[in-house]
């Protein structure tokens, strides 16, 4: 058996209609998983499902739209996943939001709460919904997409970084709780990746040039650069890895 074989697994990936989430969904399907593509807009989810089915055949993916800001929608997401594909074996908490770009000192309470709710509390909800089944089967992998922002400060995305740092502890704590049941929980920490979500950063010529110059690999990331790490953490190859923050940033954090 391949160390990266996900055949027979059901993978639920939030925020998977574009960017890093889409890349993870495509690669998990490539490695054999049946994938739930989820984001707010059905049309965007359907497009990714069509892409997966064109490559791997019918029945390999379903679209189940949901907003991470609404607990009842996440409850429906998990229930519908179980009805259509079966229990969730792999949960990838990728969806996140950042409605504020500027100094942390000037953020409003509403903006800060939205960031914490969408980037931390929603992950907690999804883990609460999916982990009991994993515990019962004594098998499961949970991946939270955090950020290298969790490891440093920023003059413009400080609140986002606070939320991503909280995700690291969320993973560590759940790894301790669920480890005895053979359920692994890890974080992925991408650097700057060329996605719509990070457009404000990489479209800034000065910031892009500074990042590329300071990165040992001399480039920013592409969504597919992160997908392989997610497959590793979800597959038998990562079966002895839990509670960790896997950095995928081209070497940026070790060079600056």
Q: What is the rounded CA–CA span in Å between residue 128 and residue 256?
A: 37
Q: What is the rounded CA–CA span in Å between residue 10 and residue 78?
A: 11
Catalytic one among 100, 160, 174, 178?
160
Q: What is the rounded CA–CA span in Å between residue 245 and residue 151?
A: 10
What single DSSP character describes residue 60?
Answer: S
Q: What is the rounded CA–CA span in Å between residue 109 and residue 93?
A: 24
* 133 sits in which H/E element: helix 122-137
Q: Is 160 a catalytic residue?
A: yes
Structure tokens at 227: 């997908």
What is the spatial order of strands in the sheet that 90-93 belongs to?
Answer: 61-63, 34-38, 10-14, 90-93, 140-145, 183-190, 245-248
Catalytic residue IDs: 160
């Amino acid at each position: 058996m391949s160390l990266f074989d996900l055949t027979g697994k059901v993978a639920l990936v939030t925020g998977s209609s574009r960017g890093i989430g889409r890349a993870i969904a495509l690669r998990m399907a490539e490695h054999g998983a049946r994938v739930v593509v989820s984001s707010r807009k059905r049309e965007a989810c359907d497009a990714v499902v069509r892409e997966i089915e064109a490559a791997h055949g019918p029945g390999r993916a379903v679209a189940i739209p949901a907003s991470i800001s609404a607990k009842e929608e996440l409850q429906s997401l998990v229930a519908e996943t179980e009805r259509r594909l079966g229990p969730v074996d792999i949960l990838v908490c990728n969806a996140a939001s950042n409605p504020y770009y500027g100094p942390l000192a000037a953020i409003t309470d509403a903006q800060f709460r939205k960031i914490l709710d969408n980037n931390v509390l929603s992950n907690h909800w999804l883990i609460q919904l999916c982990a009991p089944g994993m515990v019962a089967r004594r098998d499961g992998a949970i991946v939270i997409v955090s950020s290298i922002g969790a490891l440093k400060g920023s003059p413009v995305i400080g609140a986002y970084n606070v939320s991503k740092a909280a995700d690291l502890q969320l993973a560590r704590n759940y790894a301790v709780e669920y480890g005895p049941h053979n359920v692994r929980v890890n974080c992925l920490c991408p650097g700057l990746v060329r996605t719509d979500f990070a457009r404000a950063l990489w479209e800034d010529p000065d910031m892009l040039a500074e990042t590329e110059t300071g990165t040992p690999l001399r480039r920013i990331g592409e969504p597919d650069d992160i997908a392989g790490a997610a497959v590793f953490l979800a597959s038998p190859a990562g079966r002895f890895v839990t509670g960790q923050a896997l950095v995928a940033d081209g070497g940026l954090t070790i060079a600056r």
